[in-house]
A = this chain, B = another copy of it.
Amino acid sequence: MESLRIVLDASEIPTHWYNVVADMPNAPLPPLGPDGQPVAVEQMAAIFPMNILEQEMSAERWIPIPQEVREIYRLWRPSPLCRARRLEEALGTPARIYYKNEGVSPAGSHKPNSAVPQAFYNRQAGVRRLTTETGAGQWGSSIAFAGQMFGIDVRVYMVKVSYDQKPFRRSMMQTWGAEVLASPSAITQTGRDALARDPHSNGSLGLAISEAVEEAAGRADTNYALGSVLNHVLLHQTIIGLEAKKQFEKAGDWPDMIFGPCGGGSSFGGIAFPFLADKAAGNSPNLRLVAVEPTSCPSLTKGAYAYDFGDSSGFTPLMKMYTLGHDFMPPGIHAGGLRYHGASQLVSQLYHEGLIEALAVPQLGTFEAGVMFARAEGIIPAPESNHAIRATIDEALRCKESGEAKTLFFNLTGHGHFDMASYDRYLAGQLENYEYPAEAIAASLAHLPQVG
């Protein structure tokens, strides 16, 4: 009987991460300080350990994965590459659909791929306490889990709309020993200011980042960990695509198109970058890499390519990225992990240079796709993953019309077990599509910082 899952042995867990910087046509633009000058590494050392900052700045193609990290990875990695046969049949498409199931991790998403090395490197640098932010709760639970693995205390600022919608993500973090606060909180200046402006603030990822950074910057014993956006996070996530390449070789197939949900960019970069290496080497010239974002937070498709802050309060260096403006406040859609005003510098530059594509999909279509996937394949996906599934299904339906037997591959970034309230609302007809008004985007873009 044909296996629907292509699995690898623990010995096949990649030994190195892939750094896309080595293969980019142009070097990434440096982060800038408020004076418009490139930021020195030392300036970031208040919140990140040097071993992580070296990765952040590196242009080496291959970065070794420490043995201690691979030993934790093997609790769930290599993750399976799965063939969605029943979905293909339900769609009646000649396309072959594959997905990488990152929902098999302890925290239920791809996020531990970076949480584990970040906890390891901090521990190696003697740090015993981390702050972080979380949107959907996937990053927060991942760093809670990873902290537990290496004996590090963790405090998580959780975006309030998710804190309210997902109380059980909080329980999960607490089960792994972390402390969880709703953001905006009253214990940082950033949080108090936000509450003064709007006591009922939903919060946002940008705001929660500010809170976590403010605390880490103010405490000598505490560092900060970020779950997306930065180069080292995308680097760690390339383990997804690296494993997938081995698995496609075993399957005797190869993707024509790859879809990843895109918020900060770590799940898209993680699945896409290792395949981009082939394009850079002149192979797979027709391979298409598609970042899929929500129409309610469309940084790539509707934002400006400009220097902007990574957080809402302007604590971070300026990064050149597609952005909706650092004080853009996305609506409380349920794909909490995609509610970020910008996109990773690397994803932004590759998109700007035409090496990857982007498209935006509306909320209702993503849940429709998720339910269809659940009923065909059994797995209930995270709302973030539903964005990639929507785009994949749309392409599979185009293949049905054209008769093309394309190989489609998407990142099933996580399961939806902590998102059932969203499914409830979708099934009850209580969700809506939301397209951010152009004038509102223009308004927040008007606040972009002046550089230099």
Contacts and interface: CB of A to CB of B under 8 A. Distances in A.
Nearest to A72: B378
Interface string A59-80: 0000000010011001110000
A246 interface: no
Interface string A1-25: 1111101011101000000000000
Interface in A419-441: 420-421, 423-424, 427
A375 interface: yes
A418 interface: yes
A188 interface: no
Contacts of A192: none
A33 to B, nearest CB: 39
Given A168-B417, A379-B106, A418-B417, A1 B175 contact: no
Contact of A148 (B75, B149, B375): B375
A2 B5 CA distance: 21
Nearest to A108: B417
Contacts of A420: 167-168, 171-172, 175
A145 B67 CA distance: 39
Interface in A133-150: 145, 148-149
Contact of A175 (B13, B148, B380): B380
B174 A377 contact: no
Contacts of A421: 168, 171
A176 interface: yes
Nearest to A9: B3
A74 to B, nearest CB: 5
A1 B371 contact: no
In this complex, the member of A175, A379, A424 whose beta carbon has the largest number of chain B beta carbons within 10 angstroms is A175
A298 to B, nearest CB: 27
B171 A423 contact: yes
Contacts of A125: none
A34 interface: no
Nearest to A82: B75
B177 A375 contact: yes
A57 interface: no
A377 to B, nearest CB: 7
Contacts of A175: 371, 374-375, 380, 420, 423, 427
Contacts of A377: 75, 106
Contacts of A86: 75
B1 A71 contact: yes
Contacts of A74: 1, 3-5
A104 interface: yes
B380 A172 contact: yes
Contacts of A71: 1
A292 B167 CA distance: 30
A374 B176 contact: yes
A378 B13 contact: no
B70 A1 contact: yes
Contact of A4 (B2, B10, B107, B378): B10
A171 B417 CA distance: 10
Contact of A378 (B11, B70, B106, B168): B106
A108 B71 CA distance: 25
A172 B108 CA distance: 16
A366 to B, nearest CB: 14
Interface in A87-138: 104-108
16 contacts: A1-B10, A2-B10, A3-B10, A3-B74, A5-B74, A7-B7, A76-B378, A105-B378, A107-B378, A149-B378, A168-B424, A171-B424, A172-B420, A174-B423, A415-B417, A417-B417
Enumerate the 5 nearest inter-chain pairs by beta-carbon distance, A residue then B residue, closest first.
A106-B378, A168-B420, A3-B10, A171-B420, A417-B417
Given A1-B71, A106-B378, 12 more contacts: A1-B13, A1-B70, A2-B10, A3-B9, A7-B7, A76-B378, A104-B104, A105-B378, A106-B377, A168-B417, A171-B420, A172-B380
